[in-house]
Amino acid sequence: MKRVLNITIKCFIIILFVILSTSYITKIESKTYINNINNNVNLSTMALKLDEFISNDIYSAKNTLTGDLTGYVYNCPLCNGHLGCMYKYDITDGKTTYYDETYGTVRIVASSKNLPCGSIVRFNKSFVSSSPVIAIVLDRGVRGNALDLLSRDIEYALNLGRSSITYDVLREGWGK
């Protein structure tokens, strides 16, 4: 009789163990499932934030244009030493850059009225720079989508010649 009681108690303990462990495993699976749902939601939210970051990124192209790139100097035959968009900005000392609050020190270019004053463009030309050139439209005097890069001297401007260029518009006008 004692032996039957021991076997019954052992069976009861085993059954109880199986029931408890099954319940615990179900809870673990539920938590895993809930965690997966939260991860999916978090990944979706992160993807939306990434899209927002990219669209607000100051270096993402708002537009891409193709035109000609040429060089000019402040005292060229048709130039008066003043910029069309910032008449009082002095470039007669050979200055070819401008400090923009958003983009830092950038090169100066002339454009047609297709690009508003203060527009920021980026282009790659190995004979100008080994890294992409960021420039601001502060002058006028060209047609279409052409850009005229303000150069330090006439030799540099002549060496630029005229070449086809594709450039990105990073900002259209001041503060846009």
pLDDT value of residue 44 = 66
In a domain, 43, yes or no: yes
- In this structure, the answer to whether residues 19 and 84 fall within a common structural domain is no
Query: Both tokens of residue 94?
Result: 């050979």
Tally of CB atoms within 10 A around 149:
22
Pairwise CA distance, residues 130 & 174, whole Å: 27
Q: What pLDDT is recorded for position 87?
A: 87
Using pLDDT thresholds of 50, 70 and 90, give the confidence band for residue 9: low
**Do residues 153 and 113 make contact, with C-beta atoms less than 8 angstroms apart?**
no
Q: What is the pTM of this model?
A: 0.68
Domain end position, chosen among 56, 85, 100: 56
Taking only the tens place, the pLDDT of each residue in 32-72 is: 555 555 555 566 666 666 565 555 688 999 999 999 999 99
Reported as a single tens digit per residue, the pLDDT across 116-172 is 999 999 999 888 888 999 999 999 989 999 999 999 998 999 998 999 999 999 999
CATH number of the domain where residue 151 is located: 2.40.40.10
Q: Are residues 116 and 161 in the same domain?
A: yes
- Evaluate if residue 173 carries a pLDDT over 70: yes
Give the separation between CA 24 and CA 106, rounded to whole angstroms: 64
SS3 109: strand
| Helix residue ranges, H only, the chain | 2-56, 154-160
Q: Give the pLDDT of residue 106.
A: 97
d(CA 90, CA 79): 13
Half-sphere exposure (Cβ direction) of 107: Cα atoms closer than 13 Å: 23
Residues 49 and 69 placed together within one structural domain of the fold: no
Whether residue 157 is contained in a domain is answered as yes
Q: Is there a single domain that holds both residue 67 and residue 139?
A: yes
Specify whether 67 is located in the same domain as 148: yes
pLDDT greater at residue 101 or residue 24 = 101
Question: Is residue 45 located within the same domain as residue 111?
Answer: no
Alpha-carbon distance of 20 to 27, in angstroms, equals 11
Q: How many domains does the chain have?
A: 2
**Domain closes at, from 33, 56, 79:** 56
Give the per-residue pLDDT at 126: 83
Side chain identity at residue 62, one-letter code:
K
Q: Does 100 map to a domain?
A: yes
For residue 115, tell me if it sits in a domain.
yes
Same domain for 83 and 44: no
Which tokens in the block code for residue 19? 């029931």
**Listed residues 13, 33, 56: the one ending a domain:** 56
Distance CA 121, CA 117 (A): 11
Verify that 41 and 84 share a domain, yes or no.
no
Together in a domain, 72 and 145: yes
pLDDT surpassing 70 at residue 15:
no
Same domain, 82 and 14: no
Check whether residue 124 and residue 40 sit in a common domain.
no
Flag whether pLDDT at 99 surpasses 90.
yes
Task: Give the structural domain span for 91.
Answer: 63-171
Q: Is residue 176 part of a domain?
A: no
Give how far Cα 110 sits from Cα of 4, 39, 71, 175, Å.
Answer: 102, 50, 9, 18
Q: Please indicate, yes or no, whether residues 76 and 46 belong to a single structural domain of this protein.
A: no
